[in-house]
Structure 1
Amino acid sequence: MSFPENITTFNTTKDVVSAKPVSPKLKETKLPSSHESVVQSIPLKTSNENITLDKTVQGIPTEHLYQSGYDIPNVDLCPNLGAKLKVVVGIMSAPSHQEARMAIRQTWGHYALRKDVSLGFIVGMSKISSMNDITAEESAVYGDIIRGNFIDSYDNLTLKTISFLEWIDNYCSQAHYILKTDDDMFINFTKLLGFIDKHWKQEKTIYGRLAKKWKPIRNRKSKYFVSPKQFSHSVFPDFTTGPAYLFTGDIVHDMYTNALKTTYLKLEDVFTTGIVAQSINVKRIHINEFINKRIPFNICNIKKSISIHMIKFYEQFDLWKKLLDGRSKCK
Structure 2
Amino acid sequence: MEAVLPKNPVNDHEDGIGVVNPHPYNVVLSNPNICRVKDLFMLVYVHTGADHYRRRAVIRQTWGDIKRFPNMRVMFVMGKTSTIKSMQDALQFESTTYGDILEEDFEDTYHNLTFKGIGALKFISHYCNNVKYVLKTDDDVFVNMYTLQNHLMQLEGAGYNKNLILCLVWWKMHALREGKWSIPKEMYPEALYPPYCSGMAYVLSTDVAPKLYDASFFVKFFWVDDVYL
How would you bin the TM-score normalised by the shorter chain?
Answer: 0.7 to 0.9
The alignment-based identity, stated in percent, is: 27
Q: Distance between the aligned counterparts of 2:197 and 2:223, measured in 1?
A: 15
The reply on whether 1:120 has 2:75 as its aligned counterpart is: yes
Query: How much has 1:264 moved relative to structure 2?
Result: 1.2
CA–CA distance in 2 between the matches of 1:85 and 1:168?
13
**Cα shift at 1:248:** 1.2
Q: Which has the higher contact order (CA 8 A, sep 6+)?
A: 2
State the distance in 2 between where 1:174 and 1:232 align: 41
Give 1:210 deviation, angstroms: 1.3
Q: 1:83 to 1:255 in 2, by over 3 A?
A: farther
Match of 1:190 in 2: 146
| TM-fit CA distance, 1:261 | 1.7
* 1:112–1:119 Cα contact (<8 Å) kept: no
Please give the alpha-carbon distance, in whole angstroms, between the structure 2 residues aligned to 1:145 and 1:61.
28
Q: In the alignment, residue 168 of structure 1 is paired with which amino acid? A: I
Cα shift at 1:101: 0.6
1:211 and 2:170 equivalent?
yes
Query: What 5-or-longer segments of structure 2 have no aligned partner?
Result: 1-18
Please give the alpha-carbon distance, in whole angstroms, between the structure 2 residues aligned to 1:263 and 1:83.
37
Quote the Cα distance in structure 2 between the aligned partners of 1:216 and 1:83. Answer: 44
User: Normalising by structure 1, what TM-score?
Assistant: 0.59
User: In the alignment, which of 95, 100, 112 is matched to residue 139 of structure 1?
Assistant: 95
| Amino acid aligned to 1:267 | V
> Partner residue of 1:174?
130
* Partner deviation per Cα, 1:200-253 (whole Å, 9 max, x = no partner): 132322212111011212x2x532222445434332121111111111111111
Q: Would the alpha carbon gap of residues 175 and 230 (structure 1) be closer, same or farther in structure 2, given more than 3 Å must change?
A: farther
Higher helix share: 1
Query: Partners in 2 of 1:227 and 1:138 — Cα distance?
Result: 39
Aligned-residue offset at 1:83: 6.7
User: For 1:108 and 1:210, how far apart are their aligned partners in 2?
Assistant: 24
In structure 1, how many angstroms separate the alpha carbons of the residues matched to 2:111 and 2:98?
A: 28
Question: What amino acid is aligned across from residue 86 of structure 1 in structure 2?
Answer: F
Q: Given that residues 30 and 99 in structure 2 are in contact (C-alpha distance below 8 angstroms), is that contact kept between their aligned partners in structure 1?
A: no
Q: How does 1:91-106 map to 2 (within 5 A)?
A: 91-106=46-61
Structure with greater Cα Rg: 1
User: Is the partner of 1:245 in helix, strand or coil?
Assistant: strand
Mean CA deviation greater in 263-272 or 226-235: 226-235
Q: Could you tell me which of 195, 205, 210 is aligned with 1:253?
A: 210
* Equivalent residues in 2 for 1:9-88, closer than 5 Å: 61-63=20-22, 66-79=23-36, 84-88=39-43
Give structure 1 stretches of 5+ with no counterpart.
Answer: 1-59, 273-331
Letter in 1 for 2:172: K
**3-state SS of the aligned residue for 1:209?**
strand
Q: Distance in 2 between matches of 1:229 and 1:83?
A: 49
Aligned CA RMSD, in angstroms, stands at 2.0
Q: Number of residue pairs matched?
A: 207
Give, as a single letter, the amino acid of the residue that structure 2 aligns with 1:207: L
Distance 1:248 1:133 in 2: 35
2:224 to 260, 267, 271: 267
Per-residue CA deviations over 1:118-175 (Å, capped at 9, x if unaligned) read 1111111122323222111111121111112311111111100111000100110231
1-side partners of 2:191 and 2:103: how far apart?
A: 36
Secondary structure at the aligned position of 2:33 is classed as: helix
